[in-house]
Every structure is written in C-alpha cells, then in structure tokens.
Amino acid sequence: VRSRDDATFDVAKPENWLGIWPVFREVVSTGDTYVYPPEIDEVSARAVWMGDAATRRVTYVARVNGCIVGSAYLRPNAPGLADHIANAGWIVSVSCRGRGIGRRFAEFVMDKARLMGYRAMQFNAVVSTNTGAVALWESLGFRIVGTVPEAFRHRTLGLTAIHIIHRKL
C-alpha cells in the first residue's frame, strides 16, 4: 500500500550516492548518534556506506516523491560462523523525521534480511542518549543485550554508553 506521500524503498545504485551523501553528512555531522567522524569527507563516507561487492553489503535508499531522503545498509554482523546475524544502519534526513519513514524503512530492511536467510539482527553502537532510537528499536521487538560504558564521544555530552541491541528475525 502506497499513498502519494509515502516513502518508497529500493536497493541503491552506485549513482544514488550523490543523493545519499547530503543525508549522510547531515546525520553524521551532529556527532550525537553515529560513530562516523562528524567531519568525514565524501570519498571516505562513500567507501564506508556503499561498500563493495567483496563485503556482502547491500545499501538501500528511501525516496519521497522521487527524492532521496534516507539510506540504509544491510550486511553480516560478523564473518563465517557468526554470519547468520545481520547488522544494519539507517540515516533519514531531519527534514523528514516524525513521519514514520524510519520505522517503515526499518521494517523493509528487516524483511529483506529475513529473505536473505539472516536469523537475527544486531546493532553494535546505539548511543544510549539517543533515546528516540532506543525506543524505536524496543517497539520493533529489539532488546538491549549489552551496554559498553564510555564508548561514544558525544559531541555535547562527552563520554556516553553504547548499547548493543538485538532481535531474532
């Protein structure tokens, strides 16, 4: 079901990076939710977010009325004997927050992960002070399985804890 204003989700093509990069920069530059260096340059950001064929990583885009407003990646959380657990990450433009795009995007990627045979999903670095994200994940059936003290250098709050969050798929 899709209304005119709804976001659509697709696998990203390499040329979509031009549309993803402004969102990535916007999200990362605040230094309060993602570990990526806030001043990361475009070439490094592209390598980190888009990956390559060798990494078993898939990148997705979210569009509203054809404009890229977010992106996600999906990959094995670990190699070999632990590669049945997926890792994923999302970025959504601040201009599109509060419309439920992040939640639907998350459900979209979780479905993709199930189809690929992943049996669970794990996030390794959910900043504990990012209470909106923690609440979103808990509402989607995830739970905190671990907490690492002083693991994130929050731009305004200093050293804050990071949660490891997990759910079966």
Q: Which residues bind a copy of itself (CB under 8 A)?
A: 31, 34-38, 40, 48, 78-85, 119-120, 122, 124-125, 145-155, 162, 164, 166, 168
Question: Based on CB atoms, which residue is closest to a copy of itself, 45 or 68?
Answer: 45
DSSP-assigned letters across all residues of 19-62: HHHHHHHHHHHT-SS--S-TT--HHHHHHHHH--GGGT-EEEEE
| CA dist., res. 43 & res. 58, Å (int) | 18
DSSP code of residue 12: P
Least distance in Å: CB of 114 to a copy of itself? 16
CA distances from 26 to 109, 150, 165 (A): 22, 24, 24
- Which residue, 13 or 143, has its beta carbon nearer to a copy of itself? 143
CB of 150 to a copy of itself, least distance (A): 7
> Going by C-beta distance under 8 Å and a sequence separation of 6 or more, which residues neighbour residue 154?
31, 32, 127, 129, 160
Taking the least distance from each CB to a copy of itself, the nearer of 6 and 83 is: 83
**Nearest distance from C-beta of residue 74 to a copy of itself, angstroms:** 17
Q: Which of these, 111, 124, 9, 1, lies nearest to 64 by C-alpha position?
A: 9
Tokens of 104: 């639907």
Query: Residue 6 or 32: which CB sits closer to a copy of itself?
Result: 32
Minimum distance, C-beta of residue 110 to a copy of itself, in the bound complex (Å)? 17
105 vs 152, which CB is nearer to a copy of itself? 152
Please state the closest distance from residue 78 (CB atom) to a copy of itself, in A: 5
